[in-house]
Amino acid sequence: MQNSPAPERAGKEGMLSVTRLRLTNFRSYASVEIAASSAPVVLAGANGAGKTNLLDAISLLSPGRGLRGAKLGEHTRRGPSAISEALWAVAATVTRAGEPYDIGTGLISSQGNERRQVRLNGAAAQSSADLGDVVQMLWLTPAMDRLFIESASGRRKFLDRLVLGFDAGHARAATHYETAMRERARLLKYGPRDPAWLDGLESEMVEAGLAMAKARRETVARLNSALAERVGAFPAAHLSLDSDDTDETLGECLARARVRDAESGRTTVGPHLVDLAVRHTQKRTDARECSTGEQKALLISIVLADARELSRARDGLCPILLLDEIAAHLDITRRAALFNEILELGAQAWMTGTDMEMFSALRGRADLFEVADSQPRLI
C-alpha cells in the first residue's frame, strides 16, 4: 500500500525528513510502503493499530537499537510474512538539505547466524553508527515518562541520544568503549590476566571514555544555555552530570580496580556509570520530585531545546522528531505550543495518538494518516 503526500503540505526546503518508508516482515507489518512530504506527520488510530511500530522502524534509520531498545530478533513479524531474504527489513528515502539518501537496514540470516545489515546509498555500512553522519533523530515515548524516577541507565541513553546529534562520532566512541570494557571483564574473570593485554584494553577505554565525557559535557552546556534563554509554555530545566569522574586519571583508576572488578564481575569506574540530573528551574526542584505532568513537560522542553540547538548548528537542519502518544497528557495550551514550535522549527515530527481531533490544529499543515490493523491511510 502506497500513499502520496499532498504537495501543499511540504515542509521547509532543505530540511531533514523521511519521504518514503517501506517495511517488510517488521513487527505487525508484513509489507507496507508510505510516502510523506517533509511536513509533520500524524498517525492516529486505536491502541494496537501499529502506530508505534512505524516510529520504531524509523528510529532504526539512526544509530543504535531504536526507540524501544529491543533485541534485533524482536522486530521480526510473528505470523505470515512477505517473501523476503531478510527476517525483517526497513528501507527509506531520507532527504537531507535537498539531497536524497537511500537507507536500508534489516536482520538477515547467514549460515545459521543472524546479523543486522545496514546499507547507505546501496553500499554496505560498517555499522549503524555510520548513519549518524546522515540522520539526526530525537524521540519521546510513554515509557520515558518515568525517566527521572527510574534507573540511571535510561537517563544515560537519553543523554547520549542528545549528544549524538552534535557529535556523530559519539556512537563510535561508545561502541569502542563498550567493546574494550567487555573484553577486559572477560579477561579479569576467565584470564589470562596479562598486564600488557589489560593495559592495552584500558588504554582503549580511556581514549574512548574521555571522548564520550567531553561530548556529554559540551552537550549539557549547550542545552543549559538554550533552556535559559527561552521561556514559553514548557518549563525550563537545568541539566548536570552526577558522578562524572571521567578525567585524565581514568587509566590509573581502571588499573587499581582490576581486583575489585574481577571479584564484582563489573567495571566500577568510567563513563558508563555517569548519571544525568535534571532540575525544574522555576520551582528549584529536582525533576524526580515533580508531578508526572511536569516531568513530561520538562522532557519536552529539553527535546525542543535540543532540536533548536541542532537546527542552529546545522544551518536550519532540524532533527527528525518521533513523538509517541505525545498529546495524551498535555493540556490544550501546551499542545498548541508544541505544534507551533514544531512548525516554527521546520521539523518533520512523526506523532501518534488515539484521537485525530487532538491534532486538528495541524490540518492543512501536516500529513494526516489514519492507522487501523497496520494499514495507514492518508486522509
pLDDT of amino acid 243: 65
Tens-digit pLDDT profile for residues 243-260: 655 677 899 999 999 999
Position 349 confidence tier, pLDDT thresholds 50, 70, 90: very high
Q: Closest by alpha carbon to 174, among 153, 187, 160?
A: 160
C-alpha distances (whole Å) from 153 to each of 158, 297, 300, 321 are 9, 21, 19, 22
**Shared-domain flag, residues 121 and 147:** no
End-to-end CA distance of the chain: give it in Å, rounded.
Answer: 14
Query: Residue 332 is part of a domain; what is its CATH number?
Result: 3.40.50.300
Q: Range of 43's domain?
A: 1-129+327-379
The per-residue pLDDT for range 196-222, each reduced to its tens digit, is 999 999 999 999 999 999 999 999 999
Residue ending a domain, choose from 313, 348, 366: 313
In a domain, 1, yes or no: yes
351 within a domain of the structure (yes/no): yes
Same domain, 161 and 266: yes
Buried b / exposed e over 260-289, threshold 16 CB at 10 Å, is ebbeeeebebbbbbbebbbbbbeeeeebee
pLDDT for 330: 87
Q: Specify whether 124 is located in the same domain as 261.
A: no
Strands 349-353 and 320-323: parallel
> Are 80 and 215 contained in the same domain?
no
Report the run of H or E that residue 296 belongs to, with start and end: helix 292-313
For residue 35, tell me if it sits in a domain: yes
Could you read off the pLDDT of 100-130 as tens digits, one per residue?
A: 999 999 998 877 788 899 999 999 998 888 8
Residue 5 has pLDDT above 70, yes or no: no
**Are 157 and 94 in a shared domain?**
no
Does 123 fall in a domain?
yes
Q: Are residues 162 and 298 in the same domain?
A: yes
Task: Tell me the pLDDT tens digit for each residue of 56-69.
Answer: 999 999 988 899 99
Least confident of 11-15, 189-193, 205-209, 249-253: 11-15
237 and 296 fall within a common domain: yes
- Is there a single domain that holds both residue 344 and residue 306? no
Region 96-101: mean pLDDT is 92
Cβ neighbors of 311 (< 8 A, separation 6 or more) are 317, 318, 319, 345, 346, 347
pLDDT of residue 132: 84
The answer to whether position 157 is within a domain reads yes
Phi, psi at residue 34, to the nearest 5°? -125, 135
pLDDT in tens, 138-173: 999 999 999 999 999 999 999 998 998 889 889 899
Of all residues in the chain, the percent with pLDDT exceeding 70 is 94
**Domain shared by 196 and 55, yes or no:** no
Q: 88 and 105 share a domain?
A: yes
Domain assignment of residue 321, yes or no: no
By the 8 A CB rule, do 138 and 303 touch?
A: yes
Instruction: Provide the 8-state DSSP code for 105.
Output: E
Reported pTM: 0.86
Checking if the pLDDT of 135 tops 50, the result is: yes
68 and 195, same structural domain? no
Q: Checking phi first, is residue 191 left (phi over 0); if not, alpha (psi -120 to 50) or beta? A: left
Domains: count for the chain: 2
Does residue 319 form part of some domain?
no
